[in-house]
């Protein structure tokens, strides 16, 4: 006989049926997961839940069998202690038994989540470390660097088992080694990529050397003193050194020295040109300054003034001589410009 759909017992039994269905789904799902990846403690907990669930289901069915007019007896039965097949006490009453089952299932779920998270962390760290080492190994061989280090990390990785902390540290170490090798490989590529263009660079420097030497000769003829700088010889750079078949560290030392020599000769040519051109530019600037003050004096009808003309002629003679004495020219131009300014200032005061 079934209970009335409208009776309190029927409503309570519907709630217990819902709980039982949810509990059964959780229990069998967790049972499968525990059998696959759980611990002995988890298996004991699952067994305890099966025992408690059986006692709960039997009590629910006993309440259902009382009939529609036995609400009082059903409530009393729900409040009676539950025991297992051996007579062991499961819980003080039906709600307590259900609460116990939910608590145990929750504990198992939490344990499984923690282990799954640990397993994921182990897998991630191991995968990351393995990937970094797989990329690092051929780079280390090609570069002749960190070969033993890569092998050592791989050996420690194999021995780390499921130790999350150790695997995480090894993953970070493998990434660090890989980053160093990537940087070294980037430098290797840069050096090797630069070598084919060195002949063209040296040819350009040779043409540049000829231009700088011509500039130096021109400046020596036109001004004095000149910078005490020698023009570097591009011929001293030499040919690209042989490096085929050498380990990269040895090849790198040779090739980088060659590239550095090219850079230094280029920089030295730049400096010689800058310094010598500055000396010539200084003479030209002084010429321009002298003429601008000559024009300024002319604007005031003072160009031929006996107080100015001798100073102008003296400065002009030095500036248009070869080689021009820059020290003397600067002093003479200063004298002329100061005299022009003084005469004009005196005129302003008289006016």
- Tens digits of residue pLDDT in 193-232: 999 999 999 999 999 999 999 999 999 999 999 999 999 9
Where in 188-334 does DSSP place strands (E)? 223-224, 324-325
How many CB atoms neighbour CB 23 within 10 A?
Answer: 20
Q: What is the mean pLDDT of residues 50-54?
A: 93
The predicted structure's pLDDT at residue 5: 53
β-pairing verdict for 324-325 and 223-224: parallel
Helix (H) / strand (E) containing 65: none
**Confidence class for position 348, pLDDT limits 50, 70, 90:** low
pLDDT at 3 over 70: no
Confidence of residue 2 (pLDDT cuts 50, 70, 90): very low
338-343 mean pLDDT = 94
Q: What is the mean pLDDT of residues 337-345?
A: 93
Structure tokens given for 233: 């010889």
Give the position of tokens 């069915």.
61
- For residue 320, pLDDT beyond 70: yes
pLDDT score, position 330: 97
Per residue in 141-165, pLDDT (tens digit) is: 999 999 999 999 999 999 999 899 9
């Amino acid at each position: 006989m079934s209970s009335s759909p409208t009776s309190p017992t029927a409503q309570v039994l519907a709630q217990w049926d819902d709980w039982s269905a949810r509990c059964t789904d959780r229990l069998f799902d967790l049972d499968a997961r525990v059998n696959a990846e759980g611990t002995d403690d988890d298996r004991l907990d699952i067994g305890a839940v099966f025992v408690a669930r059986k006692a709960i289901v039997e009590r629910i069915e006993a309440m259902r069998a009382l009939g529609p007019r036995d609400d009082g007896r059903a409530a009393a039965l729900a409040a009676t202690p539950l025991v297992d097949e051996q007579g062991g006490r499961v819980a003080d009453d039906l709600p307590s038994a259900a609460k116990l089952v939910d608590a145990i299932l929750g504990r198992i779920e939490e344990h499984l989540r923690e282990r799954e998270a640990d397993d994921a962390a182990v897998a991630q760290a191991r995968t990351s470390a393995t990937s970094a080492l797989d990329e690092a190994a051929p780079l280390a061989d090609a570069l002749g660097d960190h070969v033993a280090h890569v092998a050592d990390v791989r050996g420690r990785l194999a021995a780390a088992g499921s130790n999350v902390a150790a695997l995480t540290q090894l993953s970070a170490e493998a990434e660090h080694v890989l980053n160093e090798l990537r940087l070294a490989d980037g430098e290797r590529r840069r050096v090797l990529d630069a070598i084919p263009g060195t002949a063209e660079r040296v040819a350009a420097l040779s043409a540049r050397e000829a231009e700088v030497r011509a500039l130096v000769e021109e400046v020596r003829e036109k001004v004095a003193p000149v910078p005490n700088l020698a023009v570097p010889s591009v011929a001293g750079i030499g040919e690209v050194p042989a490096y085929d078949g050498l380990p990269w560290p040895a090849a790198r030392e040779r090739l980088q020295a060659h590239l550095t020599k090219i850079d230094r000769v280029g920089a030295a040519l730049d400096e010689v040109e800058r310094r010598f051109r500055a000396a010539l530019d200084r003479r030209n600037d002084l010429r321009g300054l002298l003429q601008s003050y000559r024009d300024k004096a002319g604007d005031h009808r003072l160009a031929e003034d006996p107080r100015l003309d001798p100073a102008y002629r003296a400065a002009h003679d030095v500036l248009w001589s070869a080689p021009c004495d820059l020290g003397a020219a600067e002093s003479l131009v200063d004298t002329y410009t100061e005299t022009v300014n003084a005469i004009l200032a005196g005129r302003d005061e008289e006016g």
